[in-house]
Structure 1
Amino acid sequence: MLKKSFLPIVNCTTQTLILGSLPGDKSLAENEYYAHPQNRFWKVIEYLFNARQRISYTERINILLRNHIGLWDVCAEASRPGSMDLAIQDERTNPIAELLETHPKITQIIFNGQKAYSLYLKHFNKREDIIYRCLPSTSPANARCNLENLIAHWRIIISD
């Protein structure tokens, strides 16, 4: 039941950090962020950055990094049966404050859903030099938001 997060995907040009809560079971099995085929995260990214569909995980990560976007989770580990965010318990957070110190170009944090945002607020203080935005979750559990609505909300991650 103890689940662990992945290492952050960032580089020295990262300006926007997308934070999820904790990888789901399919992601953990595949060792890839957002690996569940019903999660719409990569569909949104591919649409926003005009990528062809069905690109490799490495190509997806490269799209993020080329566009100054990083990816990580609020939780380093937590107890959770299954993959539902509501079941997260006894979480231990990733060292996000340290990451922000070592990557000073990060000026925006985007939360992939309310659970990631609430976990962040529970364990971290907001910094005045960072913009925080909570976007609708790309999880299949968020049935209220279709792909078109997600794309409309997530468009904010495209830099000007």
Structure 2
Amino acid sequence: MKQYHNIQPVYNKDSYLLILGSFPSVKSREGQFFYHHPQNRFWKIFEQLFDLKLQTIEDKKAFLLKHHIAVWDVIASCDIVGSSDSSIENVLVNDINSLIEETSIETIYTNGKKAHQLYQKYIFPVTQKEDICLPSTSPANATYSLEKLIESWRLLLNHDLS
């Protein structure tokens, strides 16, 4: 069934890191914010890396903007069963290039293999900017413990995120 992305990207002109997911989960679409499912480890990773607690959507947005991180998804709409990336078909993509042009984006990270594949297929030909694929923070990625994810995502700390 056709689903539409209902979450505005988080960014400002000073954002220089972009993290792209594939498409929001059912819980994220319901909560109208990125990685809203309580079992998704995205926010837990940042809490560990920066030694802080992010309680509200406002806290999370403020954190991202303070640290020059933009967050969005590759897909604007698609046919999807529940939250299953493997079921994604009939993709329409977000205008990632416009976001890049409005910001100071230097580095693009994709959250998981599906986001990476979609980025390479639909967005890279337009932007000509390579992405760096990080392991998915989804609870479906059971092969990665939180500790292993934190080690992989620590790569973000190579940037000046102050």
Q: TM-score with structure 1 length normalisation? A: 0.92
Partner of 2:110: 111
More helix by share: 2
Q: Which residue of 2 aligns with 1:82?
A: 82
CA distances 1:30-64 after superposition (whole Å, capped 9, x unpaired): 11111111100010011112112x51121012111
- The verdict on how the C-alpha distance between 1:148 and 1:75 changes in structure 2, with shifts beyond 3 A counting, is same
Equivalent pair of 2:124/2:130 in contact (CA under 8 Å): no
Secondary structure of the structure 2 residue equivalent to 1:38 = coil
Q: What is the identity, as a one-letter code, of the residue corresponding to 1:118?
A: Q
1:125 match: secondary structure: helix
1:4 maps onto 2:4 in alignment? yes
**Match of 1:46?**
47
How far apart, in 2, do the equivalents of 1:85 and 1:46 lie? 25
CA positional deviation for 1:157:
1.4
Mean alpha-carbon deviation: is it higher for 30-39 or for 71-80? 30-39
Distance in 1 (CA, whole Å) between partners of 2:88 and 2:130 is 26
CA contact (8 A) 2:116 2:131 kept: no
Q: Give the TM-score, by structure 2 length.
A: 0.91
Matches within 5 A, 1:10-159: 10-52=11-53, 55-103=55-103, 105-125=104-124, 127=127, 130=129, 132-158=131-157, 159=159
Alpha-carbon distance in structure 2 between the residues aligned to 1:4 and 1:49: 32
Deviations 1:93-147 (A, max 9, x none): 00011211222x100001000000100111123656x452100000000000000
Secondary structure, aligned partner of 1:63 = helix
Distance 2:60 2:10 in 1: 11
Q: Is the 8 A contact 1:49 1:63 kept in 2?
A: no
CA RMSD of aligned residues (A): 1.4
Q: For structure 1, which runs of at least 5 residues remain unmatched after alignment?
A: none
2: distance between equivalents of 1:2 and 1:49?
37
Query: Kindly, what percent of the aligned residue pairs are identical?
Result: 41
Secondary structure of 1:124's partner? helix
- Counterpart residue identity of residue 10, structure 2: I
Task: Look up the SS of the partner of 2:148 in the other structure.
Answer: helix
